[in-house]
Amino acid sequence: MSATVGKQILTIEGLEKDGKLHPLQEAFLEADALQCGYCTPGMIMAGVGFLAKNPNPTPEEIARSLKGNLCRCGTYRRITQAILKAAHVLREAAK
């Protein structure tokens, strides 16, 4: 039996709400963190999950949280910038 039976699964397509991208998707676009797109879905989904647990991360915490995701283009700095920006946007929206 699958570990996902009876569980809710969120995909990158499910992040969009009413035609509006998730703040992390927007931040990836703004930071030019997409490059080839190979790692983008995994990085964004890992980032969304991480930000749900840590809404005010440091760059070092972000790097540790993404350790299992590989970027073939080496855009880790831009990915980190995108996650930091999204964290700020999400904190502001929560106020």
* Every domain of the chain and the residues it spans: 21-94
H, E, C per residue of the chain: CCCCCCCCCCCHHHHCECCECCHHHHHHHHCCCCCCCCCHHHHHHHHHHHHHHCCCCCHHHHHHHCCCCCCCCCCHHHHHHHHHHHHHHHHHHHC
State which fold the 21-94 domain adopts. DNA polymerase; domain 1 (1.10.150)
pTM over 0.85: yes
Q: Give the mean pLDDT of 6-25.
A: 95
Residue 1: the pLDDT is 64
